Structure 1
Amino acid sequence: MKSIYKLSILTLLSLMGLMASAQEYPVKFGVKVGANLINMAGDITDTDTKFAIQGGVTFDYAINPAFSLISGVELSTKGAKYHGTTFNDHFGDSYYTDVFVNLNLMYLQVPVYAAYKMNVGSDTKFVFQAGPYVAYGLGGKATFKDGVDKQEVNSFSTGFIKNFDFGFGVGAGVEFGHIVTKLGYEFGVINVVDSEIGKLQNRNAYLTLGYQF
């Protein structure tokens, strides 16, 4: 955990240095929306993937015509679904009941990606990016169902879901003038779910469409 915090600090210091060196080139601001294909990985291996959404503002700091530092502030929904059975032995009466868990975790997320841009036309570029992200859980709904009993609570009030998340992302996309589309994958390295039945980390594949001013 300490190494993760150190990496976060080094990343932010690098961001400040690169921003200072990028003043020769204009900073591009933008907005984006997109779809997430979310799941979790860890001790529980049979969680289910589901769709979610994301959106936010973007900042593109050009270091030179080929390399940029891409960041921003975004709202991104993550989580997973689980459907299984549990064995019950109640005063000699043995039976199985269905168990259903649905986690929706809304994060405020800040990525810091190093990007390489390749010109392929007069106003078209391929973009390849990679780097870390930090995120903090703002809210969301967790649904638990055991047999006929159903409970819905705030995701981060359960006691076993952490607010803080940290991970890495890779992606590729195309810039058509002011239009930007990207496809990428994020993998968390922190156990955001830490319970008696297992530990889980966030996973997210995404497709976004944005506009840069």
Structure 2
Amino acid sequence: MKRFVLVAAALLASATMSVAQNRPTFRVDANLSVSNQDSKRNDFTYNTVPNVGVRLGVGAEFQLGSKGFYLAPGLNYSMKGSITKWNRDGINIEPSYIKEESTRLHYLQLPINIGYRFTLSDDFAISFEVGPYAAYGFSGTHIQKNSLNDGYHTQVFGDIIGGPSKTRWDVGAGIGVALHYKRTYLQAGYEHGFIDMVRGGAYQPPLSDETLHKTICNRSFFVGLGYRF
């Protein structure tokens, strides 16, 4: 956690110093997020369904020149994860077999976007942003359910056998668009993580000669409202 704070502070300081001659515009936003995960094992892709959560953020905008471009570093709290369900109707299986897995992840996320704002009128504008992000997973839960309602619960980030990952860091890229009315804006966007969460995780290889190649990457959509001060 201390490492994340130091990295975040260094990146924000660097971005701030590079445009120190400009007075920033600060902003806050609150979004509904719909997150999912690309989950693959060898050549098989799992059918996952989204988890709904929230994405809350603060940020600043530093004007770059006079043509509408700006730099937008920020800090977000973001909920991510996914749900995997197995349809086993009509199959004679033990009631104790897993029928659903749910993963809920909590991240502190540092995006650094480049944006461009088009002025439509005195009151309306539209902006586009794109850029990378770094995220630190400070908490997460992984739940397995069966027909007996006898769930198995573990922390995601840790050494417990069955937990999905010990990889707390995520790096990815995002894109967004916002419609502004005076200081209020409606925004929507998409983020995709590049880090394989299973790397170094607690998944165990099968009891056979099969080689296990499992990957899980985060992705999420978000939509919500914001305000520029």
The two structures have a TM-score, normalised by structure 2, of 0.76
Asked if 1:30 corresponds to 2:27, the answer is: yes
Q: How does 1:23-62 map to 2 (within 5 A)?
A: 23-43=20-40, 44-62=45-63
Gaps of 5+ in 2: 1-6, 206-211
Offset, 1:36? 0.6
Is 1:109 matched with 2:109?
A: yes
> After the TM superposition, which residues 54-203 of structure 1 pair with which residues of structure 2 at under 5 Å, given as runs?
54-65=55-66, 66-84=68-86, 95-96=93-94, 97-148=97-148, 149-157=150-158, 158=160, 159-161=163-165, 162-194=167-199, 195=203, 196=205, 198-203=214-219
Equivalent in the alignment of 1:4: none
Instruction: Map Cα deviations across residues 16-48 of structure 1 (whole Å, 9 max, x no partner).
Output: 2x5345334320112111101110014133011
Task: Kindly tell me the number of residue pairs found equivalent between the two proteins.
Answer: 196
Could you tell me how far apart the structure 1 residues matched to 2:215 and 2:190 are?
Answer: 20
One-letter amino acid of the counterpart of residue 169, structure 2: F
1:25–1:64 CA contact under 8 A, matched in 2: no
Identical positions, percent: 26
Q: Which amino acid aligns with 1:178?
A: R
What CA deviation, in whole Å up to 9, does each residue of 1:161-189 have, x standing for no partner? Answer: 22110100011112222112211100111
Distance of 1:25 and 1:124 partners within structure 2? 23
Contact 2:51 2:80 in 1 (8 A): no
Q: Tell which deviates more after alignment, 75-84 or 19-28.
A: 19-28
1:97-150: per-residue Cα shift (whole Å, max 9, x none)?
342110000000000110011111113221111110000001132211244331
**C-alpha distance in structure 1 between counterparts of 2:38 and 2:196, whole Å:** 9
Structure whose residues are more often strand by fraction? 1
Q: Would the aligned equivalents of 1:38 and 1:205 in 2 still touch at CA under 8 Å?
A: yes
Matched position secondary structure for 1:156: coil
Q: Give the partner amino acid of 1:25.
A: N
SS of corresponding position for 1:19: helix
Q: Contact between 1:22 and 1:64, CA under 8 Å: does it hold in 2?
A: no
RMSD (Å) for aligned C-alpha atoms: 2.6
Aligned counterparts of 2:180 and 2:18: Cα–Cα separation in 1: 23
Give the residue type in structure 1 aligned to 2:62. Y
| Contiguous gaps of at least 5 residues in structure 1 | 1-7, 87-93
Distance (whole Å) between structure 2 residues aligned to residue 181 and residue 134 of structure 1: 24
In 2, Cα distance between equivalents of 1:193 and 1:49 = 19
Which consecutive aligned stretches of 4+ in structure 1 deviate over 4 angstroms post-superposition?
none
In the alignment, structure 1 residue 207 sits paired with structure 2 residue 223: yes
* CA distance in 2 between partners of 1:200 and 1:163 (Å): 13
Tell me the distance in 2 between the aligned counterparts of 1:56 and 1:189. 21
SS at 2:49 equivalent: coil
Distance 1:53 1:21 in 2: 31
